[in-house]
Amino acid sequence: MNEQATPREALLAKIGDKRAVVGVIGLGYVGLPLAVELARSGYRVIGFDVSDAVVAGINAGRSHVLDVPAEVLASFVEGGLVEATTELPRLAECDAISICVPTPLNKTKDPDLSYVIAAAHAVHFALRPGQLVILESTTYPGTTRDVLLPILEESELRAGDDFFVCFSPERVDPGNPKWHTRNTPKVLGGVTPACSEAGVALYSRVFDTIVPVESAEAAELVKVYENTFRMVNIALANELAQACDVLGVDVWGVIEAAATKPFGFMKFTPGPGLGGHCIPLDPHYLSWKMRTLSYKTRMIELASEINGEMPGFVVRKVADSLNNARKAINGSTVLVLGVAYKRDIDDLRESPALEVIRLLQDKGAEVRYHDPFCPVIQDDPHTPVRGLPMHSVELSDAELDAADVVVVVTDHSEVDYAAVAAKARLVVDTRGVMRGPEEHVVGLSRRRPEPPRLRLVG
């Protein structure tokens, strides 16, 4: 390389011939899959995390993320392409740095950017000419330019000339067998055109499809819009379920029939509430930002209210079904099937099952749960469930015999729901997995006007 090469030229050359070392800050559900794909593309990756246990596990070739097979991670670790550390000064070794840290909401649903700010300061102390910094953490429009960039420019280096800054939202869907890190189109926007050029140069070698947008703000807004779209449409499905319950119509039959329309309709389904690290949270980043600009996002607020009511709706279903069977919820044994926030994953983040369990406990029920992916609900100050840690029980005939009601909250594929329906006295099915004529199975909406009856087993 010419000694007079500009920082931009030097960075693009390193990216082009795979000499660039890439740092990934945060080795969770987003960061670890990204690190593996960077390594798969031929880049040496240094992963940074505050957890000694996570770092030790990765360096031993052990994966703590369901979508990253341990044997794949181990092969890159053994080949010298992936290593993990807690030593943030090693960011100076990196030519490109992706920030994949949490952006939670506080109790008033305001964004908590403390992890982003901490990562920004760590990068600032290691910043040198010719580095690329990409923020992946979901946040409100303006974060990259108004929060991250000023911290980095305290170094007196300037974005677009000396170093390069982009926003590229993560699009992780845990447990999705079709769409994963590499083949999911990657949106990217820089704070300057030169920044966008550098970000595209790196990520085009890692992802199958890059979608450049006009700015970092546009990329930030893409992410919150995507999940606001899902949140609002799920709220509509949840409201439809409650309307169908009043009307005595099977909500699942209505949705399946509507989904046969080949144009102008996209299928969304109701459930016990929203869960996961994106849909319950991301729209509120936009809502918060717009409040600071004296604009009220009414659709977001209403959708959040409807979705937030679903755990209570489910528990009322349980109480009414028990009452119709001449049993009180106070003192009843409730077996919850599934506590992960969605099917066939081990993720409890924002899971509506936790709120369902808490509300059942508040009404005096004795709650047990079965989940083949979540063997324990850990003792955590952010988890509303009492009596933690709580351990998954075996889905046995004895457990089903002991339960006054079984509540299907998460529809894991490996559960034999026909066998559950055959054995259980009473079932409240929030996922529509039991669609037969059994009178002791209660869905989110009534399928007939007569109340369910307790089935005698024996």
CA distance 315 to 20: 54
CB 424 within 8 A of CB 354: no
Cα angle: 82, vertex 88, 89; to 5 degrees: 105
Which value, to the nearest 10 degrees, does the dihedral of the CA atoms of residues 399, 401, 406, 408 take? 60
Find the catalytic residue in 195, 244, 278, 374.
278
CA distance 370 to 336: 6
Q: Is 94 a catalytic residue?
A: no
Q: At which residue do the structure tokens 């059994």 appear?
A: 438
Residues recognised as catalytic: 278
